[in-house]
């Protein structure tokens, strides 16, 4: 890998301050380490922001799914054996909020392997698998 040289100009005050803060007197090393460390932090922040955007999109998708479920169970059962909400207003908003919060926290704190194992269990049970990254429901 070829090294490139860059020239940076500083005022006398800036140069003196850099000399003081560079622990071993290596101003070039100090500047390089500081800039690259900041760059790495910036990349982490961008990555975190992208993940938050993904979570926001996931949250909207899950909210839509829960509202759809709410509409499905809000009606009057057609037979006594029918399961579902017996409340006239369907699923309470507090319950929808709690389920959504639990799902998002669990997904945010789970690694890919854990998510795949959980999805495998859902598929094995014959239920549709939600794949947040692809933004669709997949049926087994």
pLDDT tens for the chain, residues 1 to 140: 788 888 889 999 999 999 888 888 888 888 888 888 877 888 888 888 888 888 888 888 778 877 777 777 776 555 545 444 444 556 667 777 777 788 878 888 888 888 788 888 878 888 787 766 544 444 44
Q: Residue 83: its pLDDT value, please?
A: 47
**Residue 83 belongs to some domain of the structure:** no
Range of the domain at 34: 12-67+95-125
Asked if the structure places residue 73 within a domain, the reply is no
Could you give the CA distance from residue 73 to residue 51 in angstroms, rounded to a whole number?
Answer: 32
In a domain, 108, yes or no: yes
Number of domains in the chain: 1
CA distances from 96 to 43, 57, 69 (A): 34, 17, 10
Residue 90 inside a domain? The answer is no
Is 110 within a domain?
yes
Evaluate whether 136 touches 58 at the Cβ level (below 8 Å). Answer: no
Any domain includes 30:
yes
In whole angstroms, what is the distance from residue 134 CA to residue 38 CA? 32
Domain membership flag for residue 100: yes
Distance CA 70, CA 92 (A): 9
């Amino acid at each position: 890998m070829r090294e490139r040289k860059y020239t940076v100009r500083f005022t006398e005050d800036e140069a003196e301050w850099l000399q003081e803060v560079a622990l071993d007197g290596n101003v070039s090393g100090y500047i390089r380490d500081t800039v690259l460390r900041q760059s790495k932090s910036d990349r982490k922040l961008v990555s975190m922001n992208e993940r938050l955007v993904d979570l926001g999109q996931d949250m909207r998708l899950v909210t839509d799914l829960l509202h759809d479920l709410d509409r499905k169970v809000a009606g009057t059962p057609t037979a006594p054996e029918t399961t579902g909400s017996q409340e006239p207003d369907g699923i309470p908003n507090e319950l929808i909020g709690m389920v959504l919060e639990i799902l998002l926290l669990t997904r945010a704190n789970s690694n890919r392997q854990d998510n795949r194992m959980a999805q495998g269990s859902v598929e094995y049970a014959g239920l549709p698998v939600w794949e947040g990254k692809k933004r669709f429901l997949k049926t087994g």
